[in-house]
Structure 1
Amino acid sequence: MTSTVRAGCIKELAKLNATTTSGEDPPWVIIDIGFSSSKRSCGITINGDKIPDPLQDYRLNSKELKPRGDKHYGMLCPAITEWLKAHHGAGKRRTLNLMIEAPLSMAFAKRAQPQDKRRGARQGNPIARIPDQLQDQDSKGEKRQRQRLWYTQPASGLMVASMRLIQDLATELNGWEIRLFEGFVSFKTGEETEGHWEDTCKLWNALPTYSTTLTNSDGPILASQDGYVTSITTLMGEPSDGNIPPILRVIDLGRAQVFAQETR
């Protein structure tokens, strides 16, 4: 890789404020990623706007149905790099905020130590992260437990798609810093507008502006007594500082929560 890829941090989890921005704010690329050989399975927005299909070989089929803001997986890297060339001048800071709606971290059960009296059978097995689970009420007012586990399908497949995209961007964006954030819009009430593009807009709208920069999180990604959590960058051969991409979870028609695990 020719770029620096690292986990973003909570203080960076904010979008530019149109009334105060200096023009040096890193652009936000937000992706609802999919993995299909034939469909527009991905949604993407940059700073809340749609971006065009990349020029290279993609605009020949004028009859193809093109949902607003949706892209083929293979379009993502060239579309992003073309946008940056057109909108990000040479004198600007070469930093990119990349938020992907897919697991960007992994959690595993704690292994017992020799002095421990009890040793569970789950030692070292994948376990749910805290944001993967949601306790709420159904339409009848009864409590229910919902979960979207990072290690099951389709989530684990989307992790592979994310790793490949990050590697492609790191190769193309020579000298850039890519800061990773995870988006989470999996728990839906059924009342929201569905679609890949719509999910990226929910995440963009949930980001606070600099005037209300987040300093605290709603909780950790995993409780330390349950096990350990690691970033997918460790699987990509990137140097690890022990930090995990913060998770922005949007539920209930826009209510946002932040989960973070920082050692900085």
Structure 2
Amino acid sequence: MNPQFQQALGVRRLTLGHPVRWLRAGWADFLCTWPVGLAHGAAVVSFALLVLLVAGNDFWLLAGAFSGFLLVAPVIAVGLYAISRELEAGRPGGFRTVYDAWMSWRGRPRHDWRLVIFGCLLALAGTGWVMTSAALITALSPEPINSPVDFLRHVVASREHYLFELWMMLGGVLAAPVFASSVITLPLLLDRQVTVLEAVTASWLVVIRNPAVMALWAGMLAGLSVAGLAVALVGSLVVVPLLGHASWHAYTDAVDAGALPERVRGAP
């Protein structure tokens, strides 16, 4: 890692009360700019409905799309991070803020490929999980798993083996490094001119210094995401922007990035 980056980055010690504070701050940001938040939530719900329509009753296609969606969801929330940054600085945020976060700086339209590259890495991680999961269940399940009903009957509800517990343990083992690599990475990439590797390293440093707090935050993110999807997807309209805004506040509390070079923002 770049020694100058390591010296400039300050990783803070967090408490177990911080995740609740992040949710409260995220909720306040959502209320201030709710049309943008609901637009992000609606985009996620529309994508989920499209997946259900295309995948139908194909369990592995559904599992792959769902896993990939959960991993790439932080990329979708980049505009929400940008709005929270503006609100935190006392400036108004809106749809133009989202556009500038993705498409322009120095007054010229241009992509920030660091965000795209990291999104692709998350998508690859999701693909790897689905392939590993499929191999495990195919090898150990007593019956073929072709639909969600098959999975519930022969894996989740079965009392003849511990395949579901093993599958959950494997998911936790594989999800932990992905979470550690991404918990503050995208907000940092949005806010500062650092490389993807430096941002991922910073994310790991936060988790290593605050393992209990980050474990609690991971559980809250997963629980609220599943709850939003479970309520006929309608809950995601609010859960997506809430967690997006809250993740920005997790970043600003977890690290002091003031000494790092700012990402040049789009012209107003």
TM-score under structure 2 length normalisation: 0.28
Higher helix share: 2
Greater RCO (Cα-Cα under 8 Å, separation 6 or more): 2
Relative to its length, the structure with more strand (as a share) is 1
The two structures have a TM-score, normalised by structure 1, of 0.28
